[in-house]
Amino acid sequence: MTAPRAFRLAEIVEHLGGELAGDPDVAIERVASLESAGPGDIAFLAQAKYRPKLRATQAAALILPRGERDATPLPRILCDDPYVYFARVSALLNPPAGFQPGVHPSAVVEPGARIAGSAHVGPGCHVGRSAELGENVCVEAGCAIGEEVRIGEGSRLHPCVVVYARCMIGRRAIVHSGAVIGADGFGMAPHEGRWLKIPQLGRVVIGDDVEVGAGTTIDRGTLDDTVIEDGVKLDNQIQIGHNVRVGAHTAMAGCVGVAGSARIGRYCTFGGAAMVLGHLELADHVHVSAGSLVTKSILEPGTYTGVFPIQAGRAWRRTAALLKNIDKLESRVRALERIVAELQEKE
């Protein structure tokens, strides 16, 4: 990121809206939490349970809900959603680092590749034949761009990203270091006690405004494409299997795994380490809790949890034993119910 610059509180409101209360000339240089904020910092309050921390904060200014106007005498911006406003202030104060257009002398650009004049290709990069990098694309050091890859305008690939042949990345994408786009999916056919590799002939097609985290892998399709629609946000170390489709504006936290040919709807969320088995379908607005294992399709929106609460080891073993024998217990209960019913009939 570029070095942050200071904004007067009034300038922030001019850029982002909201209602200003207090000194408009307070200089804001950084964003911070209520606990750690000091001179030059702006902090935010999103939930009423944190209101007591307002009394001790050393922040220069605050972002508050409109209903909290009188919660502090400090200079403040009142808005509808302090967390979202805080995110926008942070982006205003910390714009992405700039880059110089051009191709570094140590980069290798194969014949037929087309690189826009405003694009940047960093040291040690390789750009394959007939690849195309649009306007204001930034490909940082050590990236490998395969043949016939298309990267849309304004996208940024951080160091050591690999994009395999024929894959497509839309506009304004952010791909973090170590991500691999378009490696082979796990396609194997058993034959006479051995595995035969199935060529993976599809692509990965990524839409606009997508962010892909560090170390995340998105496999190419076997025949059809793996598709990541517009606005999807993928955290670090996520695995997306071949032929998966992830609907627009879905967000996944770290270490989520989605097996091949699953279909994920729009505006879904996945907590860390959630897993989705292959060939399943999840409707729009499905929210999967952290650590959950999705073993069947989910066709209705809502929040779904499939994780057993943690217990002390001894208690967990007892619970596991009970669950293991739940079928026997059910049979005994039903037998007792029949006996009770027969006795009641005789009375």
Question: Which amino acid, 227?
Answer: V
Tell me how far the alpha carbon of residue 44 is from its chain's centroid. 23
Phi then psi dihedrals of residue 112, to 5 deg: 90, -10
Q: DSSP assignment of 182-247, as one string?
A: EEPP--EEEETTEEEEPP----EEE-TT-EE-TT-EEEPPSSS-EEE-TT-EE-TT-EE-TT-EE-
The reported pTM is 0.89
What kind and span of H or E run contains 269?
Answer: strand 269-270
Q: What pLDDT does residue 320 have?
A: 85
Q: What pLDDT does residue 311 have?
A: 86
Q: What pLDDT does residue 148 have?
A: 98
Reduced to 3 states, what is the DSSP secondary structure of residue 330?
Answer: helix
Q: What pLDDT does residue 344 have?
A: 86
Domain 102-304 listed as CATH 2.160.10.10: yes
* Active-site pick, 126, 158, 242, 287: 242
Q: What pLDDT does residue 1 have?
A: 55
Distance CA 278, CA 258 (A): 7
Q: Which residues contact 208 (CB under 8 A, 6 or more apart)?
A: 152, 170, 171, 172, 173, 230, 231
Nearest residue to 140 via CA among 178, 112, 94: 178
CA 218, 248, 172 angle in degrees (round to 5)?
70
How would CATH label the architecture of 7-93? Answer: 3-Layer(aba) Sandwich (3.40)
Q: What pLDDT does residue 2 have?
A: 56
Beta strands in 24-122, from DSSP E residues, in sequence order: 27-28, 30-31, 41-44, 61-65, 76-79, 102-103, 108-109, 114-115, 120-121
Nearest residue to 170 via CA among 229, 88, 118: 229
Q: Do domains 7-93 and 102-304 have the same CATH topology?
A: no
Reduced to 3 states, what is the DSSP secondary structure of residue 318?
Answer: helix
Nearest residue to 97 via CA among 174, 42, 15, 7: 174
Q: What pLDDT does residue 141 have?
A: 98
Q: What pLDDT does residue 49 have?
A: 86
Distance CA 116, CA 101 (A): 9
Q: What pLDDT does residue 3 have?
A: 57
Q: What pLDDT does residue 260 have?
A: 97
Q: What pLDDT does residue 253 have?
A: 98
pLDDT along the chain (347 residues), means of 10: 78 97 96 95 91 92 94 96 96 93 98 98 98 98 98 98 98 98 96 96 98 98 97 98 98 98 98 97 98 96 88 89 87 90 83
Could you confirm whether 242 is annotated as catalytic?
Answer: yes
Domain ranges of the chain: 7-93, 102-304, 313-346
Question: Which amino acid, 31?
Answer: V
Q: What pLDDT does residue 4 have?
A: 62
Question: Parallel, antiparallel, or unpaired: how do β-strands 217-219 and 275-276 relate?
Answer: unpaired
DSSP 13: H
Reduced to 3 states, what is the DSSP secondary structure of residue 182?
Answer: strand
